[in-house]
């Protein structure tokens, strides 16, 4: 008999999957359903110690002898605090103990109820990892709980071993059980920490996949280009990379966001890989997130030098803790797969590239979209481009830059508008060539104090799309323009950067239509100009939204 609570079932299943065999159990009412579920499973070797102070050191003795992680479980309240001395000892001895503490729901804490105190993170820096599990009521809760337990169990033995804390809130009724044997298997995430040149477990696995796809997020590692090209050429691995991945636009697929939008529901499974590899940081595209969550891949390998568990697409199976370039070079050097008698091995690769070539770049009315495209086509070789967040980075992604040798950056770590202008000014201060910034009006005015605070350099070029407010809000489903929403959400205004820019010594250019934009662009990108420059492009938010909508609709059915 196992508890009917899904977070307990996940815990039991993952303790088994991670080969945690020895359990030291201290009886209590709040943790009774946990003990019931663990003790009834023949996989575990259970030891009962009533006093949690002694239980902690008892577990240390087991772990010292076996060399394996040992788990403990206690009830809520002061019982948790009694683990403190043993947990501290395990931290400094680097012993992998897993402290599982039952808890009451958050709503009951500090409400004069018995055996309650704030338990999440209670051990502070003495626990290598502390997680607070959700009570599972939805699919997202299920995924989150699974990820947190995997993270904690992996961290107990990661690099230097040590104690971890899993806090488990449980609502009443506590004693509802299911007659299932064994609990449903839970997804296990594995972390591989290879020697610098030892990636052997992954060579054979890689050769068994027929539809590999590699997704490159924001990064600046110049060593990735060669192994990515070899993976693409030798193994027909589809490589998707946005502008901030800083890879040549002519080599890999950049317009995948528009491509995915063009797919019908029936077409999507044809473009889903059986192996997803991810490298680098954040991506701009939201559609790629939905695509991989809605279209399961057999395995997802995330290659990361710090070994962090990043489960963006909720399909993660392996974290390979290493630098990306040597691992990808190893995969690229594998023997080419034998052709499958059932299908053409290149079909998956060809359909991605064929579809990518069918996606047109946006054209149409004078708008922020057109201004972003004009800049992308006019950027000179070897320039740096900073893309502000929100609309700017998304609009730029729809165009392939004319220049091959560009360095493209965007503050996608947290995706805020604060600091976009300051980042560009800072980069221009150390870049001997031109630094361009594509930015919207709210982000510009929010951060324009930097133009007063620092002396400006000649190589700074700012293209300011001024649509008198937050354009992106007009594209959001459910947004209804009204005096209140335009004032408090879209922040409609009539400000211009002209006086501010000229007072700070910037050459000021402006555009109000297509012709004036075309006339201004050659001077804006001219390296011979010895002053910083700002080009302010005035557009209509309503027309901007219509232009983007018309482009998106044109993609359907291609």
301 forms beta bridges with 277, 318
Q: Name the band, by pLDDT with cuts 50, 70 and 90, for residue 558.
A: low
CA atoms within 13 A on the CB side of 558: 20
User: Are 192-358 and 368-555 the same fold in CATH?
Assistant: yes
Percentage of the chain exceeding pLDDT 90: 69
Span 86-128, pLDDT tens digits: 999 999 999 999 999 999 887 777 776 667 788 999 999 999 9
The H-assigned helical ranges of 20-117 are 32-39, 52-66, 78-81, 84-93
Sequence ranges of the domains in the chain:
2-175, 192-358, 368-555
Candidates 226, 423, 193; CA nearest to 308 is 193
CA–CA separation, 287 and 247 (whole Å): 21
Backbone phi, psi, residue 84, to 5°: -55, -50
The two three-digit tokens of residue 324, written as one number? 């990306």
Query: What's the pLDDT tens digit per position in 504-533?
Result: 999 999 999 999 999 999 999 999 998 999
Q: What's the gap between Cα 302 and its chain centre? A: 11
Q: Which CATH superfamily is domain 192-358 in?
A: TPP-binding domain (3.40.50.1220)
pLDDT digits (tens, 9 = 90+) for 402-427: 998 999 999 888 777 788 999 999 99
Domain 368-555 CATH superfamily: Thiamin diphosphate (ThDP)-binding fold, Pyr/PP domains (3.40.50.970)
60 band by pLDDT with thresholds 50, 70 and 90: very high
Number of Cβ within a 10 Å radius of residue 385: 26
pLDDT in tens, 433-476: 999 999 999 899 988 888 887 778 999 999 999 988 655 555 55
pLDDT digits (tens, 9 = 90+) for 301-319: 999 999 999 999 999 999 9
Q: Say what the pLDDT of residue 456 is.
A: 86
The residue to which tokens 């693409």 are assigned: 232
pLDDT of res. 481 = 57
CATH class of 2-175: alpha beta
The whole-number average pLDDT for the span 38-62 is 92
Q: How many CB atoms lie within 10 A of CB 198?
A: 10
User: Mean pLDDT, the chain, as a whole number?
Assistant: 89
The burial of 78, by beta-carbon neighbours within 10 Å (0-12 exposed, 13-18 middle, 19 or more buried), is given as exposed
Whether pLDDT at 3 is above 90: no
192-218 residue pLDDT tens: 988 756 788 899 899 999 999 999 999
Tell me the per-residue pLDDT of 170-187, one tens digit each, with 9 for 90 and over: 988 777 777 767 777 889
**Sequence-ordered list of residues with C-beta below 8 angstroms from that of 245, at least 6 positions apart, any chain:** 216, 217, 218, 219, 280
The pLDDT tens digits of the residues spanning 122-172 come to 999 999 999 999 999 999 999 999 999 999 999 999 999 999 999 999 988
Maximum average pLDDT range among 65-74, 186-195, 541-550: 65-74
Please provide residue 454's backbone torsions phi and psi, each rounded to the nearest 5 degrees. -130, 145
Q: What is the DSSP string of 316-339?
A: --EEEES-HHHHHHHHHTSPPPPP
Which segments of 238-286 does DSSP mark as H helices, in order?
A: 256-262
Return the pLDDT at 180: 67
What's the pLDDT score for residue 29? Answer: 87
Give this prediction's pTM.
0.84
Q: How far apart are CA 325 and CA 219, in angstroms?
A: 12
Mean pLDDT, range 33-61, rounded to an integer: 92
What percentage of the chain reaches a pLDDT higher than 70? 92
Check residue 110 and give its pLDDT: 74
């Amino acid at each position: 008999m196992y508890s009917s609570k899904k977070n307990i079932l996940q815990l039991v299943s993952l303790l088994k999957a991670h080969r945690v065999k020895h359990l030291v159990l201290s009886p209590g009412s709040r943790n009774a359903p946990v003990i019931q579920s663990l003790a009834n499973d023949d996989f575990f070797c259970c030891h009962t110690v009533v006093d949690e102070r002694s239980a902690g050191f008892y577990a240390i003795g087991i772990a010292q002898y076996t060399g394996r992680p040992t788990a403990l479980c206690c009830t809520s309240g002061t019982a948790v605090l009694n683990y403190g001395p043993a947990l501290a000892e395990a931290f400094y001895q680097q012993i992998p103990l897993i402290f599982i503490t039952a808890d009451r729901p958050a709503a009951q804490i500090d409400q004069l109820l018995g055996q309650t105190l704030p338990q999440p993170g209670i051990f502070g820096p003495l626990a290598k990892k502390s997680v607070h599990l959700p009570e599972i009521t939805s699919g997202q809760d299920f995924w989150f709980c699974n990820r947190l337990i995997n993270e904690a169990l992996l961290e107990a033995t990661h690099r230097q071993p040590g104690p971890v804390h899993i806090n488990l809130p449980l609502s009443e009724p506590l004693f509802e059980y299911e007659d299932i044997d064994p609990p449903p298997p839970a997804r296990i995430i594995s972390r591989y920490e290879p020697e610098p040149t030892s990636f052997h477990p992954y060579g054979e696995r890689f050769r068994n996949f027929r539809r590999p796809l590699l997704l490159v997020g924001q990064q600046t590692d110049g060593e990735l280009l060669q192994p990515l090209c070899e993976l693409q050429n030798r193994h027909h691995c589809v490589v998707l990379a946005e502008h901030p991945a800083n890879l040549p636009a002519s080599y890999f697929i950049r317009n995948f966001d528009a491509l995915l939008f063009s797919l019908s529901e029936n077409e999507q499974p044809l473009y889903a890989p059986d192996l997803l590899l991810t490298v680098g940081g954040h991506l701009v595209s939201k559609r790629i997130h939905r695509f991989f969550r809605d279209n399961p891949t057999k395995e997802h390998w995330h290659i990361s030098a710090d070994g962090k568990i990043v489960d963006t697409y909720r399909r993660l199976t392996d974290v390979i803790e290493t630098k990306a370039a040597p691992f990808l070079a190893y995969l690229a050097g594998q023997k080419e797969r034998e052709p499958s008698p059932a299908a053409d091995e290149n079909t998956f690769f060809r359909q991605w590239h064929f579809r990518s070539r069918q996606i047109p770049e946006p054209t149409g009315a004078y708008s922020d979209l057109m201004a972003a495209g004009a800049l992308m086509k006019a950027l000179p070789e070897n320039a740096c481009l900073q893309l502000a967040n929100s609309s700017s980075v998304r609009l730029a992604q729809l165009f392939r830059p004319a220049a091959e040798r560009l360095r493209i950056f965007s503050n996608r770590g947290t995706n805020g508008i604060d600091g976009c202008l300051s980042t560009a000014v800072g980069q221009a201060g150390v870049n001997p060539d031109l630094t361009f910034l594509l930015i919207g009006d709210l982000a510009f005015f929010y951060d324009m104090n930097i133009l007063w605070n620092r002396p400006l350099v000649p190589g700074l070029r700012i293209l300011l799309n001024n649509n008198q407010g937050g354009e992106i809000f007009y594209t959001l489903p459910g947004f209804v323009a009204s005096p209140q929403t335009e004032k408090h959400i879209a922040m409609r205004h009539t400000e211009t950067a002209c006086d501010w820019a000229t007072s700070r010594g910037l050459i000021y250019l402006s555009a109000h239509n297509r012709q004036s934009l075309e006339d201004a662009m050659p001077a804006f990108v001219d390296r011979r100009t010895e002053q910083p420059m700002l080009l302010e492009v005035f557009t209509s938010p309503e027309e901007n939204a219509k232009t983007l909508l018309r482009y998106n609709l044109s993609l359907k059915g291609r």
